[in-house]
Amino acid sequence: MTRPTTQVDTVVVVDEHTFRPWIAADVPFLWDMLHLALFVPVGAEPLPRSVLDEPKVAHYLRSFGERTGDDAQVCEGSDGPVGAAWCRKLDSTDPGYGYVADEVPELGMAIVGSWRGRGIGRRLLGDLLQRHPAMSLSVDDANTAAVELYRSLGFRPVASAAGSTTMARTQREVPSALLLEQPRPPQTNPDEQDSS
C-alpha cells in the first residue's frame, strides 16, 4: 500500500498523546474507528460490525491508501491508538453521505469512548485540515457535540435530510490557535464526555 502524496511526516507529542500521520499498519484501526463513527443515539444498541461490509459504508476505507487524496491523522495514547480522522475523495457515481463534489474529500472521525472530551478530535481534525482545507461530512443532528466542533472549525451546513446534515468547509486556513490547543486531562465521569 503506497502512502498518499498529501502525507506529511510530522509527529507531535502533547502530554501522553502522540499525533501523527497514518501508516499502512493503521488501516485495521481505521476500520474500528469507522464502526465507532457510525452514530448511535444514547441508550440504543450499537450497530453490528457487519454494517462495515455494506457498500455505502465500506467505500470510505476499502483499499485505503490506493486513491489519490486518501489521508488520515492518528492519535496514540500510552496503550496504542485512541482516535483517528481520515478523508477520502468519493465521486458522483459512488457518493458518500456527506458528498458535495468530486474534488472535496469526505471526513470520517472517531475517538475511543474513554478518550472523548479531551480535545483530541479537535486536534486530529485540525491537523488533517492543514493538509486538506476543503472538506465535507455528514453528521447526525442529535450528535450536538460533533456539530458544534465542526461549526467551530468553519464547516457550514449545505443540506439536511432525515435527521442528518451535510456540512462543508471551503476555507483555506485553519486558525493557528486551533493547533495550539492542548488535549485536556481525563474527565472523572465518563457519562459527561462528548464525542469530540
Residue ranges of domains in the chain = 12-174
Which amino acid is residue 157, in one-letter code?
Answer: P
Using the predicted structure, report yes or no on whether residue 95 has a pLDDT greater than 60.
yes
Q: Which amino acid type is present at position 55? A: P
Strands 17-21 and 12-14: antiparallel
Cα–Cα distance measured from residue 117 to residue 186, given in angstroms and rounded to the nearest whole number: 8
Q: Are 153 and 168 in contact (CB under 8 A)?
A: no
Do 111 and 120 form a contact (C-beta atoms < 8 A)?
yes
Confidence of residue 39 (pLDDT cuts 50, 70, 90): confident
Per-residue pLDDT at 13: 65
SS3 content of the chain, % helix, strand, coil (to 5): 30, 25, 45
List the one residue out of 161, 163, 139 whose CA is nearest residue 153.
139
The yes-or-no verdict on residue 52 having pLDDT over 90 is yes
Q: Could you give phi then psi for residue 134, rounded to 5 degrees? A: -100, 130
Indicate whether this model's pTM tops 0.85.
no
pLDDT the model gives residue 23: 97
Give how far Cα 72 sits from Cα of 24, 85, 107, Å.
Answer: 10, 6, 9
Mean pLDDT of 79-91: 97
What is the third-level CATH fold of 12-174? Aminopeptidase (3.40.630)
